Chains A and B, each alone.
Chain A
Amino acid sequence: DGGITQSPKYLFRKEGQNVTLSCEQNLNHDAMYWYRQDPGQGLRLIYYSQIVNDFQKGDIAEGYSVSREKKESFPLTVTSAQKNPTAFYLCASSIGTRYQETQYFGPGTRLLVL
């Protein structure tokens, strides 16, 4: 089956700890995205990547880091600098060309702080 997978479904972080959220897609999409979702708010863009080995900051990149070493993978690290990391994190991908911008989402990872 083609699609986007995120793991784990739930992740617990201790104070001062870095944690990495996984996002994998087998849709052969060039572009991938990370969003954060808090209660009462829409999706806010953290980072996005339009091609391998390249990525751009979104609206709320502080305290996060990403890498794009492979087309199918776009892991997100929540660093200790992110003081309020509790949220629902969503990964998405799109073909990435003009008129092929529809983003398809994974099931999400819920991050909780211990």
Chain B
Amino acid sequence: GESVGLHLPTLSVQEGDNSIINCAYSNSASDYFIWYKQESGKGPQFIIDIRSNMDKRQGQRVTVLLNKTVKHLSLQIAATQPGDSAVYFCAEMAPSGNTPLVFGKGTRLSVIA
């Protein structure tokens, strides 16, 4: 399939291990954050979101952690599977009106079977 990113940071993990993908966001006023997963040649798929009044949120096999002090967001994937191989993007939104999301550059996750 087509590549969505030739020079992205890459994280390689063994199947069954836990993955941690990190994201540094830019705007200290941002109060809403989303993680997306993008498989090759496809549109981004929503994974999980979190608001700034929380520091942790869990979904199915995924956990998002928010550290507002250092403007850091992380996505943890438990028991990583081959189907988790994709590019992962974080996105942030500031509270001033319905401003569009601002996306990070992405991290490629490669799962080794």
- Residue numbers of B with Cβ under 8 A of A are 2-8, 32, 34, 36, 41-46, 49, 89, 91, 93, 98, 100-101, 103-106
Contact = CB atoms under 8 A, between A and B. Distances in A.
Contacts of A104: 46
Given A88-B4, A90-B43, A105-B45, A42 B101 contact: no
B6 A102 contact: no
Helix, strand, loop or mixed for chain B's interface? Answer: loop
Interface in A43-89: 43, 45, 48, 50, 58, 88
B98 A96 contact: yes
Contacts of A17: none
A98 interface: yes
Contacts of A107: 42-43
Nearest to B102: A45
Interface of A: 4, 6, 31, 33, 35, 37, 39-43, 45, 48, 50, 58, 88, 90, 92, 96-98, 101-108, 110
